[in-house]
Amino acid sequence: MTALYDWLVEPLQYGFMVRGLAAAVLVGIVCAVVGTYVVLRGMAFFGDALAHTILPGVAVGYLVSNGAREPLFWWALGTAVAASLGIGAITKSGRIKEDTAIGIIFAGMFALGIAIISTVRSYAVDLSHFLFGDVLGVTPQSLVWMAVFGGVVLLLVLAFYKEFLTISFDPVLATTLRLPVNRLNNLLLVLIAVTVAVAMQTVGVALMVAMLVTPAATASLLTRRLPSMMVISATLAAFSGVIGLYISYYLGITSGSAIVLTATAFFLLVFLFAPQRGLLWKK
């Protein structure tokens, strides 16, 4: 017992580890709840693209602030919101197929971001932090802002619960009920964008999509109701964050990939063994 206790408590003597755990749990919960809509609406590719698209914004912030980390959150936030509305508008124009349009923007912006960062001599280390996250580098100040923005996202998801549910399940019904469907769609895109900005330092842009879709997809195999899907998804994501960080601490694996691998392991377990719907119970 004491051995387990020591094993669990030992990392907590470091302030960066405590902050990292708080950030991982917070990001996990926000991503998982918003991710429920990403999964139900089939927006995984949009989420992945959005995460990559913020890289040039972060890169410019990185140059302007001479490598300081604090301002990067704001650069990520601004770029993400602009990119989400931009991608939303382009996909509605209908001249190029939606996924093709997203692909072009996403790859182009990502390349631009890498190009900007590569002008700095020590770019390799910093680039890997942007790509794969650096949850142990979260400052107390960033943690506060992540909590504030993450909290606002969760509150809005709750406040617009019935509207988001309806535009996702049946947009024609939403129109005949005269809901402001376009504005609600844009609000949802902005909420995904804010979530991406909040999560950037924890998992990085390259692994972001996993936090958005993996816990939510796991939850979708375990329940048939949206509220419980959100709760299960958030719980799984929070545990993935904690377990992933301990794995990262003891095995010396990068934190972002350890968190994502834990979430993926949960998914595989449920995919194989879920009651009634697991692969093993099917003929």
Partner 1 sequence: MYPHIHHLPDQPILDISRLSVRYEGRGALENITFHLHAGERVAVVGPNGAGKSTLFKVVAGVLPPAEGEVRVYGSGPGGHVCIAYLPQRSHVDWQFPVSVGDVVMMGRIAKLGLFGWPRKRDWDFVHAALETVGIADLEKRQIGQLSGGQQQRMFIARALAQEAELMLMDEPLTGLDTPSQEGLLALLGELQRKGVTVMVATHDLDQAARYFDRILLLNHRMVAFGAAGEVLAPEVLLKAYGGKLRMVNGKVVTDDTCCDGDDHDGTL
Nearest distance, CB of residue 172 and partner 1, angstroms: 6
Nearest residue (CB) to partner 1, 175 versus 235:
175
Nearest distance, CB of residue 36 and partner 1, angstroms: 9
Question: Does residue number 173 form part of the binding site for partner 1 (CB under 8 A)?
Answer: yes
Nearest residue (CB) to partner 1, 108 versus 180:
180
Residue count at the site for partner 1 (CB under 8 A)? 25
| Structure-block tokens of residue 144 | 């506060």
Nearest distance, CB of residue 165 and partner 1, angstroms: 7
Give the C-alpha separation, 129 to 185, whole Å. 31
Nearest distance, CB of residue 211 and partner 1, angstroms: 20
Question: Does residue number 229 form part of the binding site for partner 1 (CB under 8 A)?
Answer: yes
Binding mask 22-61 for partner 1 (x = CB under 8 A): ------------------x---------------------
Contact 240, 5 (CB under 8 A): no
Question: Does residue number 202 form part of the binding site for partner 1 (CB under 8 A)?
Answer: no
**Single-letter residue type at 61:** G
Question: Does residue number 282 form part of the binding site for partner 1 (CB under 8 A)?
Answer: no
**Single-letter residue type at 105:** I
Cα dihedral 23→271→217→254 (10° resolution): 30
Q: Which stretch binds partner 1 (CB under 8 A): 123-131, 162-170, 187-195, 265-273?
A: 162-170
Burial label for 109, CB within 10 Å (0-12, 13-18, 19+), is buried
Q: Which stretch binds partner 1 (CB under 8 A): 3-11, 73-81, 111-119, 163-171?
A: 163-171
Nearest residue (CB) to partner 1, 112 versus 222:
222
Burial label for 270, CB within 10 Å (0-12, 13-18, 19+), is buried
Question: Does residue number 170 form part of the binding site for partner 1 (CB under 8 A)?
Answer: yes
CB contact set of 245 (below 8 Å; sequence gap of 6+) = 11, 17, 20, 21, 24, 135, 255, 258, 259
Give the C-alpha separation, 106 to 123, whole Å. 21
- Residues numbered 69-98 forming contacts with partner 1, rule: CB under 8 A: none
**Of 22, 82, 114, 165, which one interacts with partner 1 (CB under 8 A)?**
165
**Of 95, 121, 225, 283, which one interacts with partner 1 (CB under 8 A)?**
225
| Structure-block tokens of residue 272 | 């194989």
Give the C-alpha separation, 241 to 24, whole Å. 5
Annotate 218-232 with DSSP letters as a single string. Answer: HHHTT-SSHHHHHHH
| Residues lying near partner 1 in the complex (CB under 8 A) | 40, 159, 162-163, 165-166, 168-173, 175-181, 220, 223-226, 229
